[in-house]
Amino acid sequence: MRRSVLRIGLVACCAKKGAEPCAAKDLYLSPLFKKSRDWVERHCDRWLILSAEHGVLAPETVIAPYDRTLNQMSANDRRVWGDLVRQQLESVAGSRFVALAGVRYCEPLVALDLERPMAGLGIGQQLAWLSHARKATTF
């Protein structure tokens, strides 16, 4: 019997956050995060959040607001972050990953089966792509 491959969406965290601890899926408030969340909830079997502070988060994980970003990290700290993320994703090895995340979040994940449908797009273009994809029935 052939096992189907899970399609797992990876959504990057964002700077705009709520003020109180809550489920990670509700902490991030930017329009890009919200549209990315909507997309992965409709097009993937499961989704996870790439957090600069925590590595990989399940959407229901309760966390407090934080101010860490990958852009503020040194190259060494980003390597350490990438090692943590790859280790955390080992539990879903063999899955197909769809990353709705910028280059800094995706660089450490090159060894994964990683799709980047919005690669090379600026934030405005990503928002437009997600809005257009919302209206489309297939990816």
Choice between 1 and 10, residue whose per-residue pLDDT is larger:
10
Average pLDDT, integer, range 98-124: 90
pLDDT category at 138 given cuts 50, 70, 90 is low
pLDDT score at 90: 86
Q: 71 lies in a domain?
A: yes
Question: Which of 57-71, 98-112, 123-137 reaches the highest mean pLDDT?
Answer: 57-71
Residue 136 lies in a domain: no
63: nearest Cα among 19, 93, 102:
19
Cα 21 to Cα 9: distance, rounded to the nearest angstrom:
23
> What percent helix, strand, coil does the chain show, rounded to 5?
40, 20, 40
42 in a domain, yes or no? yes
Mean pLDDT for the stretch of residues 92-102: 89
Q: How many domains does the chain have?
A: 1
Res. 1 pLDDT band, cuts 50 70 90: very low
For the chain, helix (H) and strand (E) counts, in that order, are 5, 7
22 falls within a domain = yes
Average pLDDT over residues 88-97: 86
* Domain extent at residue 17: 7-131
